[in-house]
């Protein structure tokens, strides 16, 4: 089998396809949503996830100031909202309204959940590190919830709870193997 050298800037796309998430954030009555592909579990005890957010994003300031964020997991049917929240800025727009998404109260943080997503990790920032051109916010998961049909200790991946994975650019694939292109 022949292998070829890759442009290292593109090579990270080989491990890019964890589920794309909608991260909600809120500070001083301003709520926002940012689409993120770069997320990872980073600690089992305490349970923690990390999100990589560029300082230029409006959401970066909201997360840094509030010390909170919520990782919301969208099903593949939310592709248009995922693309919208990843291509416009909350500096100028109300992304909840613009994406047709609704705020729902979280149980343990002030930041709202994105109601249309099927699962939510409520996080409090416990560490942040500048890494290259992004900030890694590590958040302790202080509460979590999911649709019964979507998660029974593991993702069920039963329709309609099929996760969406970003391949790079406009290209996505669902956990059911269907290629989708965002417009």
Cβ distance to ligand FMN smaller for residue 26 or 57: 57
The three-class DSSP label of residue 93 is: coil
Stretches 50-58, 68-76, 106-114, 145-153: which one binds ligand FMN (CB under 6 A)? 50-58
Q: How many residues belong to the chain?
A: 183
* Neighbouring residues of 147: CB distance < 8 A, sequence distance ≥ 6: 118, 119, 161
Specify the residue, 90 or 139, whose C-beta has the smaller distance to ligand FMN.
Answer: 90
Quote the least distance from Cβ 89 to ligand FMN, whole Å.
Answer: 3
Distance linking the first and last C-alpha atoms of the chain: 35
The Cα–Cα gap between 130 and 147 comes to 34
Q: Which is nearer to ligand FMN, 36 or 99 (CB)?
A: 36
Q: How far is CA 163 from the centre of its chain?
A: 12
Q: Map residues 4-43 to x or -, x wherever contact with ligand FMN holds by CB under 6 A.
A: ----------------x-----------x-xxxxx-----
Rounded to the nearest 5°, which phi and psi values hold at 63? -70, -45
106 and 140 Cβ atoms separated by less than 8 Å: no
Nearer to ligand FMN, 7 or 133 (CB): 133
- Is 71 within 8 Å of 39 (Cβ atoms)? yes
Nearest approach in angstroms of CB 146 to ligand FMN is 21
Residue 137 interacts with ligand FMN (CB under 6 A): yes or no = no
Instruction: Give whichever of 35 and 111 is closer to ligand FMN, judged by the CB atom.
Output: 35
How large is the C-alpha radius of gyration of the chain? 16
**Contacting residues toward ligand FMN, per CB under 6 A:** 20, 32, 34-38, 52-54, 57-59, 83, 86-91, 134, 166
């Amino acid at each position: 089998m022949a292998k070829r050298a890759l442009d290292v800037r593109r090579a990270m796309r080989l491990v890019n396809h964890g589920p794309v998430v909608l991260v909600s954030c809120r500070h001083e009555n301003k709520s926002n949503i940012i689409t993120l592909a770069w997320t990872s579990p980073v600690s089992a005890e305490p349970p923690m996830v990390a999100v990589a957010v560029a300082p230029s994003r409006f959401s970066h300031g909201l997360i840094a100031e509030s010390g909170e964020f919520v990782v919301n997991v969208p099903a593949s049917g939310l592709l248009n909202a995922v693309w919208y929240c990843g291509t416009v800025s909350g500096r100028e727009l109300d992304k909840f309204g613009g994406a047709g998404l609704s705020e729902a109260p979280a149980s343990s943080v002030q930041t709202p959940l994105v109601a249309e997503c099927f699962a939510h990790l409520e996080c409090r920032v416990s560490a942040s590190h500048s890494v290259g051109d992004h900030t890694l916010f590590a958040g302790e998961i202080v509460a979590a919830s999911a649709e019964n049909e979507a998660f029974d200790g593991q993702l069920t991946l039963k329709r309609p709870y099929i996760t969406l994975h970003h391949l790079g650019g406009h290209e996505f694939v669902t956990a059911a193997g269907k290629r989708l292109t965002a417009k």
